[in-house]
Amino acid sequence: MELKIFKDKITVAKEFCDFFVDLLKAKEGLTVALSGGSTPKVVFDYLAGHDTAIDWSKVKFFWGDERCVPPTDEESNYKMTVEHLFSKINVPEENIFRIKGEADPEVEAERYANILNDKLPLAKGIPYFDLVILGMGDDGHTASVFPHQIELWRANKNCVVATHPDSGQKRVSITGKVINNANTVVFLVTGAGKAEKVEEILNKEEGYEQYPASLVNPDSQQLVWFMDKAAAEKLSK
Ligand code: 6PG
């Protein structure tokens, strides 16, 4: 595990962009599972504006999770990605494998699980991503596996249907077995609201394993936390 701590969100975005470009340079193609929420917005904006032309035709885009809403809904991770990335770059439509938030959640979880089996190489019989990008909620959730449903992390499936603990919103999420099968996993975690869980998880404090983010531990051992100082604030204490 590697911690990369930078002074602010923009620097996190710049540094992750450089990391991504280096990963892409080293490969013929790259499969990536994107995260949602707000943190990726600044990262996607930066990636889209990257001064060195990125050959986006080499990248295949998937999602680690999606809210069960239409792709036109403000809550949609796909919509956010179109606004901050796809609308600004030249990516072939056939390289985008969105989770259909408008579909029946259980049906879509099954469909997407099959997409992962069909479109990704398998390692140990499990879909294998070159890169999984994750965020972490203030409650320690990641992808859309929340502490109150932590058993979903260990589901023997590629995808599950989760429920947001506050809003009750349904979500389709990939599971721990897919996340921990990836070649590289990157956390993008910024803001003071994350500091408490970052400290509990990275310092393995009492009860830390109740947080799904603490269970991210790729077999490859290639796990990188990109954080700003605010999110890492309590680590140095
Ligand atoms: C989502 C996510 C989720 C997100 C965290 C952090 O669909 O919301 O994929 O796991 O990464 O909630 O979200 P922020 O970056 O907005 O804090």
CATH of the domain at 216: 3.40.50.1360
For residues 130 and 32, the answer to whether their CB atoms sit within 8 Å is yes
Query: Quick check: 166 pLDDT over 80?
Result: yes
Domain count, the chain: 1
Q: Which stretches does DSSP call E strand in 92-169? A: 122-123, 126-127, 131-134, 159-163
Model pLDDT for residues 27-86, shown as the tens digit of each residue: 999 999 999 999 999 999 999 998 677 899 999 999 999 999 999 999 999 999 999 999
Atom of ligand 1 nearest to the CA of 138: 17
Name 221's Cβ contacts closer than 8 Å, sequence gap at least 6.
Answer: 1
Query: pTM to 2 decimals?
Result: 0.97
- Residue 24 CA to ligand 1 center (angstroms) comes to 24
CA 155–ligand 1 middle distance (angstroms): 20
Q: Is 228 exposed, middle or buried (CB count within 10 Å of its CB: 0-12, 13-18, 19+)? A: buried
Q: According to the model, what pLDDT value does residue 216 have?
A: 98
Residue 172 backbone phi and psi in degrees, to 5: -100, 130
Kindly report which listed range (54-58, 108-112, 117-121, 207-211) carries the lowest average pLDDT score. 54-58
| Angle between helices 39-48 and 9-25 in degrees, nearest 10 | 50
CB 24 within 8 A of CB 61: no
Name the residue at shortest CA distance from atom 7 of ligand 1: 36
Q: Which residues pair with 189 in a beta bridge?
A: 227
Average pLDDT over residues 86-106: 97
Strands 2-6 and 223-228: parallel
Q: Taking a C-beta distance cutoff of 8 angstroms, is the pair 189, 225 a contact?
A: yes
Q: Which amino acid is at 199?
A: E
The C-alpha atoms of residue 49 and residue 47 are separated, in whole angstroms, by 5
CB-defined site of ligand 1, < 6 Å: 35-39, 65, 77, 135-137, 141-144
228 C-alpha to center of ligand 1: Å? 16
Structural domain that includes position 230: 2-236
What token pair was written down for 101?
Answer: 């938030």
What residues form DSSP beta bridges with 210? none
99 CA distance to ligand 1 centroid (A)?
16
Ligand 1 atom closest to 143 (CA): 10
Nearest CA to ligand 1 atom 12: 137
